[in-house]
Structure 1
Amino acid sequence: MTGKRRIMNSLLAAGDPAARGTAIVTTRKPGDTIEREFRSLADVPDGQFSVVDCVSRSGGFGLAEAAPGRRYISDPGDLTGIGIAMTEFMRRFHEEGRDARIGLHTLSTMLMYVDLKRVFQFLHVVTGRIATSGFSGVFVLDDNVVSEREEMIMLQPFDAVMEVREDERTELRVRGADFGPRAWTPVRFDALVQ
């Protein structure tokens, strides 16, 4: 309810998204919803936008066969399938000589399917591939699903953490990076996309 998915999409869409590739893994909302939300912020050609959908197949939604920019995974616990699909899209962007941004909404759902150790190992591999490719990644974790200890473990592979809270308005602060506010600051969603 704090707008984390909207913030993730805004960060992925910032700058000139038509000049790079974007891939989003969704473990909570159907891929069509994620694509519609992202495209409301960014006008990107079909070949430069991809979705790894971990919801639609297990939810029984009518599915066509995987399209060039879409991969359907059985459920959010299939870390191997998710990793293969993410790698496929990252490899394609890399071979095309494109920069890319990778998003994952949300790690919390993965933790309902598999244990913390396996999710941490998955994150270690995926963030390593993102860094090696020179890409950027934005991952969402609902902190009310994990303990403080589990949260600290989950955050280890990341360079920076953006915390989001909602009181009367949505606010954020950034830790571990040279960008963003250090103190709680009201979110201006329009400014995130620029």
Structure 2
Amino acid sequence: MSGYSLGIKELDELLGDIREGTNLMMIGPPMSRKDDLLDAIIFNSQSPAGSAIIVSTREPGERVLGWFEDYGLDTSTADIGIVDCVTKTLGMGAADTEKIKRASSPVDLTGIGVKISQFFEEMLIKKKKQQVHLCINSLSTILMYSNIQTVFRFLHVFTGRVKAANGFGLYVVEDEMHDAQTIATLKQLFDGMIEIKAVGDAYAMRVVGMTSKPTPWFEYAIEGTDIVLKKT
């Protein structure tokens, strides 16, 4: 079985296949469209052998699925599962569905973990998917409600689960919301990072830790599901 890719031509050519069991932090400033970047990576990775679990701490599950549907993905057949940490915090009594499982809030790490595990079992054991993505958007929201030690223990379990399942984990962090010690603690759990920075009115990204030296910085634009890069 081959590894994973980001679905971003220039970076994929530099990185080659991302090995199975890799966990990456995606870290950058607010308003840098990390949500769209994450969704586009998942969209472009969809295949008959693939599946994705997305933990959403900022948008209801229906809205996350709606993004994929807007760009032509048939979510009734695609193996995407959403752990929705938002709807119940709004006081809405929506039930779980086949594609969306609800945690009570971003502070409910036990509940979130149970829902992730249910999707892992469904994707890997029942459906026998060969590849699985785990995406948490975002760790920063979870850290607003829980201390770093609790979040570290939670993440240690699921980064380990990704490794054991030969999966690919992506975890979003707002780099201006946390002190250096918090970021340094989180970094211990990851194999590398997608770093994002502001470049004038635009944003640029690079990948660190996956090759002998970081990739160059590429300014990026997101056009629907296409991520267009330009070397800075």
Superposed pair shares fold, TM > 0.5: yes
The aligned residue for residue 122 of structure 1 is: 154
Relative to structure 2, which stretch is displaced further, 50-59 or 17-26? 17-26
Alignment of 1:14-33 (within 5 A): 14-33=44-63
Alpha-carbon spacing, 1:87–1:104, altered in 2? closer, same or farther (3 Å): same
CA distance in 2, matches of 1:40, 1:179: 38
In structure 1, the gaps of 5 or more residues are none
CA distance in 1, matches of 2:212, 2:119: 27
- The answer as to whether partners of 1:159 and 1:177 remain within 8 angstroms in 2 is yes
Structure 1 residue 44, shift from structure 2 partner = 4.3
Counterpart of 1:67, as a letter, is T
Alignment of 1:26-175 (within 5 A): 26-41=56-71, 43-46=73-76, 48-61=79-92, 63-95=93-125, 96-98=127-129, 99-166=131-198, 167-175=200-208
Counterpart of 1:83, as a letter, is G
Structure 1 residue 64, shift from structure 2 partner = 3.0
**SS of the counterpart of 2:173?**
coil
CA distance in 2, matches of 1:180, 1:78: 38
Greater per-residue strand proportion: 2
- The answer as to whether partners of 2:85 and 2:103 remain within 8 angstroms in 1 is yes
Alpha-carbon spacing, 1:9–1:17, altered in 2? closer, same or farther (3 Å): farther
CA distance in 2, matches of 1:36, 1:18: 20
CA distance in 2, matches of 1:35, 1:112: 25
CA distance in 2, matches of 1:155, 1:39: 33
- The answer as to whether partners of 1:173 and 1:180 remain within 8 angstroms in 2 is no
Structure 1 residue 41, shift from structure 2 partner = 4.5
Structure 1 residue 81, shift from structure 2 partner = 0.6
Structure 1 residue 179, shift from structure 2 partner = 10
Q: Pick the aligned partner of 2:220 from 168, 180, 187.
A: 187
In structure 2, the gaps of 5 or more residues are 1-30
Cα deviation, 1:142-168, whole Å, max 9, x if unaligned, reads 111111111111121111100112332
The aligned residue for residue 21 of structure 2 is: none
Structure 1 residue 129, shift from structure 2 partner = 0.4
- The answer as to whether partners of 1:22 and 1:100 remain within 8 angstroms in 2 is yes
Greater per-residue helix proportion: 1
Relative to structure 2, which stretch is displaced further, 112-121 or 16-25? 16-25
Relative to structure 2, which stretch is displaced further, 160-169 or 141-150? 160-169
- Higher relative contact order, chain-length normalized (CA < 8 Å, sep 6+): 2
CA RMSD of aligned residues (A): 2.1
CA distance in 1, matches of 2:170, 2:213: 14
CA distance in 1, matches of 2:61, 2:54: 9
Larger radius of gyration: 2
Determine what percentage of the aligned residue pairs are the same residue.
Answer: 28
Structure 1 residue 17, shift from structure 2 partner = 3.8
